[in-house]
């Protein structure tokens, strides 16, 4: 067996109550990690996740924060250090939802919000938590990107602009902190099956374009996050890893 073992590690997952976030939390806890469950408004789901994690004999706390605000992120750090401990692994998963429109229709506020939740969140999380990782000489930063960043589909411009900005920040960060034993990578899901987004006939055209002829599952996304968080991925950094059945394929 070649297990993913995160025993003794603390993980912060932002947007942990979301469709992908909640499965990441459960998967990381099953691998042995203690979890800092970040949420913005869904306190009920956050409390449920904490209970689930503790039932696995792992430690967990739920922390409300605005990950686009420095004071709020710093308060998150202080609570984590007081009630659990500083995270060794940070998963930047939170995103601001909005209605997708064409470039000519999309509001500037939507572009600004995607910048905040993709670029600014990544910068604030790095500046707040990576110094501690440097002191400990070990750390993981994992950004949740998207296959859309390589597709340029209609009505996705604000989302892509934010996520490609995130990509730039995290790749530079990977070069800057690698000497300290810290890896920085990105997972890029495709259109994923989750609790609120089950399989349906509406995805027939999408599935037809995917080489594996299906949509991925939330657990398949979480498995890659767990792998990158582990020592099995100790020599991978600066990577953008599509988890989309081959729907996009980065070229060399």
C-alpha to C-alpha distance for 104 and 121, rounded to whole angstroms: 26
Rounded Cα–Cα distance for residues 22 and 5 (Å) = 19
Backbone torsions φ then ψ of 106, nearest 5 degrees: -65, 135
Give the pairing type, strands 139-144 and 60-64. Answer: unpaired
Residue 129 backbone dihedrals phi, psi, to 5 degrees: -110, -25
| Token pair of 70 as six digits | 């420095």
Burial of residue 226 (number of CB atoms within 10 Å: 0-12, 13-18, 19+): buried
Q: Which of 39, 115, 159, 240 is catalytic?
A: 159
Count of helix runs (H) and strand runs (E) in the chain: 8, 9
Q: Is 98 a catalytic residue?
A: no
Catalytic residues: 159
């Amino acid at each position: 067996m070649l297990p993913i073992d995160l025993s003794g590690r603390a993980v912060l997952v932002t947007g942990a109550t979301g469709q992908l976030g909640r499965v990441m939390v459960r998967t990381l806890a099953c691998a042995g990690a203690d979890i800092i469950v970040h949420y913005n408004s869904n306190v009920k789901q956050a409390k449920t996740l904490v209970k689930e994690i503790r039932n696995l004999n792992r430690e967990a706390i739920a922390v409300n924060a605005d990950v686009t605000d420095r004071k709020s992120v710093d308060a998150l750090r202080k609570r984590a250090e007081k009630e659990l401990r500083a995270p060794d692994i940070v998963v930047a998963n939170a995103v601001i939802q909005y209605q997708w429109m064409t470039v000519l229709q999309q509001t500037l506020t939507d572009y600004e919000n995607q910048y905040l939740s993709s670029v600014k969140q990544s910068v604030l999380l790095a500046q707040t938590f990576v110094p501690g990782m440097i002191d400990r000489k070990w750390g993981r930063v994992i950004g949740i990107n998207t296959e859309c960043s390589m597709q340029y589909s209609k009505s996705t411009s604000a989302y892509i602009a934010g996520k490609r900005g995130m990509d730039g920040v995290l790749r530079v960060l990977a070069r800057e902190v690698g000497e300290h034993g810290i890896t920085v990578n990105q997972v890029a899901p495709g259109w994923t099956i989750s609790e609120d987004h089950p399989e349906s006939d509406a995805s027939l055209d999408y599935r037809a374009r995917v080489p594996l002829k299906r949509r991925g599952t939330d657990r398949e996304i979480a498995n890659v996050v767990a792998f990158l968080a582990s020592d099995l991925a100790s020599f991978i950094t600066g990577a953008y890893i599509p988890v989309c059945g081959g729907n996009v394929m980065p070229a060399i």
